[in-house]
DNA sequence: CGTAAGATTGAATGGCCTCAAGGACAGTGG
DNA sequence: CCACTGTCCTTGAGGCCATTCAATCTTACG
């Protein structure tokens, strides 16, 4: 289960698929599904941001992915979800019966879209893997911010404005570091003139190339 | 692209699918495909072990997965492979046209199997992610050995014998550490009486529970 | 205004990495 | 058969960076 990128039709009109794919909404903090739940449905994100987490044997928490509009989450393994999924913001989701995956004939179009989403999920997880493989904390965080900026940043002149839906702790658990290190890395970027923090959640990317350099630097 | 686990029919007879799925062989070190190659085929591993790698911007190398008998590799992203794939041992592969994924009707059975493989790949990548998320070097390595023992270990009484196809450097790049740390962690396990090294590649698991404890310990 | 949760900053420890050297082993050619 | 060579693995010493523990600051909300 988890996240998929860039469907061919990221936002099918709600009306068109309404009878097949009911819309559901969740408040921030709401739980969409839990690890080991039977996976009857796939969910296509229409609006909002979600967090997919798994627990390690040690008790620590790993954020497997963040899901945004257009992503599909909930791909099963052995018929069950493999992570917890919670809403970080208000979210609206389209629900698709998981059976669509197993039965291509019933709805070929949707089947193909969901399958593409599964392949995109594989690519996304590999990217996450590469992100975590970086050595330095600043490099990881810089790469993370760049990905967010490309996918969800609002351009404003030569700057990008990011509105983070997740808390520092979520970022830390996503990149496998501590909140303190996330915070320190951000302040370093700030002192280097790469970003500005309007609020804790609102980040302005001042120097995209500088961030790239920090990401690329070993 | 990458690795899938446990197909419903791990080893379809070569004869049956011969005309549809030619068999190919590679020597150790042989290249099956490279990153950014057009992904015309999926490959089902019949025998041998393969290594899937990606390069980081920094020049470092990340091992994304090891593929063993029964795994399917080569799932495309945007029609292309996203990693390099090389043979660690002699390998024999079944090749399946990638078009099978896009066209369920042509070969429903195979389509379903390959799709299951894609879902298994997602689960496998998540597991890898969790493995890398561990704190300590010994914990990571212990978990890695346990997975290998469960999937490919030969039982011998209460012991497991592992025959590693990969070099220390491959393990290091898989778990995101250095060869030196891999080596040091192995010697520590050896001194603790958890394993024995018959050769550098042949590892005997003496105390499975002890390994589990080391894996679980923060 | 007061409280609580989140975010930032500081100081000290520890574990992994880096750099470097030495050992094990196979393949090759004399 | 034995040095020779290259590759891989192991071991050692020292430094750096992320973590840990702790305190302060900020923000949101009642």
Q: What is the pLDDT of residue B156?
A: 85
CA distance A168 to A191: 19
Q: Could you tell me which residues are beta bridge partners of residue B67?
A: B50
Q: What is the DSSP string of A69-89?
A: TT-EE---BTTB--SEEEESS
What are B55's two structure tokens?
């390069």
Over chain B (218 residues), the average pLDDT of each successive run of 10 is: 43 47 93 97 98 94 98 97 98 96 93 96 98 96 97 89 97 98 98 97 97 91
CA distance A167 to A171: 7
Give me the mean pLDDT over the A188-197 stretch.
98
Q: What is the pLDDT of residue A20?
A: 61
CA distance to partner chain A, nearest, from residue B5 (Å): 11
Quickly give B62 CA vs C20 C1' distance in Å: 25
Is B129 near chain A, with CB under 8 Å?
Answer: yes
Residues A19-67: tens digit of each pLDDT: 566 999 999 999 999 999 999 999 999 999 999 999 998 989 999 999 9
List the single residue in B with minimal CA-CA distance to A4: B122
CA distance to partner chain B, nearest, from residue A18 (Å): 25
Is the minimum distance from the CB of A196 to strand C below 7 Å? no
Q: What is the pLDDT of residue A4?
A: 44
Cα R_g (chain B), whole angstroms: 18
CA distance A137 to A215: 10
Is A191 near chain B, with CB under 8 Å?
Answer: no
pLDDT(A13) > 70: no
CA distance A109 to A115: 10
Q: Which of B111, B119, B166, B123 is nearest to B144 (CA)?
A: B166
**Residue A192 CA neighbour count, 13 Å, CB half:** 18
CA distance A197 to A214: 18
Residues on chain B touching A59 (C-beta within 8 angstroms): 218
Q: What is the pLDDT of residue B157?
A: 85
**Rounded to the nearest 10 degrees, what angle do helices A137-152 and A108-133 cross at?**
150
Residues A87-118: tens digit of each pLDDT: 999 999 999 999 999 999 999 999 999 999 99
- The predicted model scores a pTM of 0.91
Is B133 near chain A, with CB under 8 Å?
Answer: yes
List the single residue in B with minimal CA-CA distance to A55: B130
Mean pLDDT over each residue of chain A, to the nearest integer: 91
Strands of the sheet with B41-47, listed across from one edge: B23-26, B91-97, B41-47, B72-73
Is the minimum distance from the CB of B137 to strand C below 7 Å? yes
Q: Which nucleotide has the shortest C1'-to-CA distance from A136? A: D17
- Pairs of CB atoms within 8 A across A/B: 115
Say yes or no for a CB contact (<8 Å) between A101 and B115: yes
Q: What is the pLDDT of residue A197?
A: 97
CA distance B120 to B67: 12
pLDDT(A200) > 70: yes
Q: Name the E strands within A27-173.
A: 31-33, 41-47, 50-55, 61-67, 72-73, 84-87, 91-97, 154-156, 159-163
Q: What is the pLDDT of residue A186?
A: 98
Q: Which of residues 32-91 of A touch B (CB under 8 A)?
A: 54, 56-60, 62, 64, 75-78, 82-83
């Amino acid at each position: 289960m988890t996240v998929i990128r860039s469907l061919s039709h990221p936002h099918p009109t709600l009306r068109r698929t309404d009878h097949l794919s009911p819309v559901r909404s969740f408040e921030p903090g709401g739980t969409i599904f839990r690890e080991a739940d039977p996976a009857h449905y796939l969910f296509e994100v229409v609006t909002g941001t979600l967090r997919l987490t798994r627990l390690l044997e040690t008790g620590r928490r790993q954020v497997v992915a963040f899901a945004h509009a257009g992503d599909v989450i909930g791909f099963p393994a052995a018929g069950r979800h493999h992570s917890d999924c919670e809403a970080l913001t208000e979210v609206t989701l389209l629900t698709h019966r998981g059976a669509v995956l197993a039965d291509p004939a019933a709805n070929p179009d949707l089947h193909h879209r969901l399958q593409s989403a599964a392949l995109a999920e594989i690519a996304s997880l590999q990217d996450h893997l590469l992100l975590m493989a970086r050595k330095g904390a600043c490099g990881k965080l810089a790469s993370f911010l760049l990905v967010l900026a490309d996918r969800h940043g609002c351009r404003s002149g030569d700057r990008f404005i990011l509105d983070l839906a997740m808390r520092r702790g979520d970022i830390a658990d996503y990149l496998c570091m501590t909140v303190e290190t996330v915070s320190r890395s951000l302040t370093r970027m700030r002192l280097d003139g790469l970003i500005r923090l309007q609020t804790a959640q609102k980040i302005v990317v001042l120097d995209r190339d500088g961030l790239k350099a920090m990401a690329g630097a070993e």
